[in-house]
Amino acid sequence: MIEAELKARVHDPERVRARLAARAAEEVSVYRDTYYDLPDRSLSNGDRELRVRIIERGDTRRCLLTYKDARVDAASGSKPEHETDIGEATTNDAILRALGYEPVIAFTKHCANFAFEAQGQRVQATLVRVPELAGTFLEIETLIGNRGEVGAALDVIRRILGDLGITEAELTTKLYTDMVAEHRRTVAPPG
């Protein structure tokens, strides 16, 4: 599957939240993400990602292993994605380390998810706050079967963004991993 996605930095998150709540119920979650790579950084150097995500919703906890391949659309950053439920994060950390992978960055995302249908696409819109980063982000994504569907899926997402009052100027393709790493470098420079 390919995750067609656009992300924006939101200037009025409460207005966007209200507009999303008119479309779907809000589901609040905390994501605890750890990204892994090989010592030579061949995954990140190849625009690929390996992540263990713990999702906490109320009293429930779910753990996912995700592999994202290189971008198929440079303008949006959309990538093929393979994801599966896994047991406990600590067990998977031990397995990944035994295979030569090492954690390179970990951070927390506070998410308000809204799932709905739009023009025949199952869409998830997520308002995201990363405590280390200023502001609120909006991710809108849908899963599609092949590269040929990326353009149409992104058109649907752009229409939703327009309905929410988000402009093209607010879009970003910056990865949270890169933004958090940059923040950590500026807050606590090496040396």
Token representation of residue 27:
């589901």
How many Cα neighbours within 13 Å face the side chain of 34? 16
Domain ranges of the chain: 2-183
- Asked if residue 64 lies in contact with residue 72, where contact means CB atoms within 8 angstroms, the answer is no
For 72-110, b/e burial (b = at least 16 CB within 10 A) is: bbeebbbbbbeeeebeebeebbeebeeeebeebbebbbe
pLDDT tens-digit series, residues 13-38: 999 999 999 999 999 999 999 999 99
> Could you report the per-residue pLDDT of 106-115, keeping only the tens digit for each?
999 999 999 9
Gyration radius (Cα) of the chain, Å: 17
What pLDDT sits at residue 189?
A: 62
Superfamily of domain 2-183: Hypothetical Protein Pfu-838710-001 (2.40.320.10)
Percentage above 90 pLDDT, the chain: 92
What pTM does this model have?
Answer: 0.93
Q: What is the pLDDT of residue 87?
A: 83
Sign of the alpha-carbon torsion through 94, 188, 33, 75: negative
* pLDDT over 70, % of the chain: 98
Q: Average pLDDT for residues 70-77, to the nearest whole number?
A: 92
Measured CA to CA, the distance from residue 143 to residue 4 in angstroms comes to 6
pLDDT value for 150? 94
**Arithmetic mean of pLDDT, 57-82:** 94
Q: How confident is the model at residue 89 (pLDDT cuts 50, 70, 90)?
A: confident
Give pLDDT tens digits for 113-156.
999 999 999 999 999 999 999 999 999 999 999 889 999 999 99
Two tokens at 26?
A: 């809000």
Task: Give the strand pairing for 121-129 and 136-144.
Answer: antiparallel
Q: Looking at residue 127, what is its pLDDT? A: 98
**pLDDT surpasses 70 at 190:** no
| Cα 15 to Cα 127: distance, rounded to the nearest angstrom | 11
For residue 108, what are its two tokens?
């927390």
Q: Is 81 helix (H, G, I), strand (E, B) or coil?
A: strand
Closest by CA to 69, choosing from 87, 95, 42, is 42
Compute the mean pLDDT over every residue in the chain, rounded to the nearest whole number: 95
Given a contact cutoff of 8 angstroms between Cβ atoms, the answer to whether 2 and 79 are in contact is yes
